[in-house]
């Protein structure tokens, strides 16, 4: 009886910890992929407005592949030149993602997160497009 009680008492937090670490690891893959894809998408567009929209959409799609909602992410785009789409300009896309705690009731309402992850990717606008 004591063994069963102690096993449950010790195993439940351990299993929850492993699930949480798995969520964070999966989200880290998603954030890196989303930032890289958004930077690649941004530099091939023709105007800055459509480039920003396309980059944000690619982040949403990439994070959805890993099971994360668009509300959990923010996207920052910066350039080293005034004209972001000029040949030779470097565009940096940074994606921030709040990873929620798994299996928490009312987690969306309480805004509890296991971690906040960030990833950046930089692409250079090509001379020939």
pLDDT in tens, 81-121: 989 899 999 999 999 999 988 887 776 677 778 899 999 99
d(CA 124, CA 43): 7
Q: What backbone phi and psi angles, to 5 degrees, belong to 56? A: -65, -40
**Stretch 3-24: mean pLDDT, rounded?**
89
pLDDT at 108: 66
How far does the chain reach from its first CA to its final CA, in angstroms? 71
**Stretch 24-52: mean pLDDT, rounded?**
94
d(CA 115, CA 99): 5
Pick left, alpha or beta for residue 67 (phi over 0 → left; psi -120 to 50 → alpha; otherwise beta): left
Percent of the chain scored above 70 by pLDDT? 98
pLDDT category at 79 given cuts 50, 70, 90 is very high
- pTM here is 0.84
> Does residue 119 contact residue 77 with C-beta atoms inside 8 Å?
no
pLDDT in tens, 64-75: 999 898 999 999
Q: What backbone phi and psi angles, to 5 degrees, belong to 36? A: -65, -45
């Amino acid at each position: 009886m004591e063994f069963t009680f102690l096993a449950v008492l010790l195993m439940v937090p351990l299993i929850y910890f492993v699930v949480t670490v798995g969520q964070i690891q999966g989200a880290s893959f998603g954030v890196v992929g989303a930032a890289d894809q958004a930077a690649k998408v941004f530099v091939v567009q023709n105007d800055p407005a459509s480039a920003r929209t396309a980059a944000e959409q690619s982040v949403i799609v990439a994070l959805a592949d890993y099971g994360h909602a668009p509300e959990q992410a923010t996207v920052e785009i910066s350039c080293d030149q005034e004209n972001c789409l000029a040949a030779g300009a470097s565009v940096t896309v940074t994606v921030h993602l709040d990873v929620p705690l798994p299996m928490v009731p009312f987690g969306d309402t309480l805004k509890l997160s296991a971690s906040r992850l960030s990833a950046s990717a930089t692409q250079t606008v090509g001379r020939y497009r």
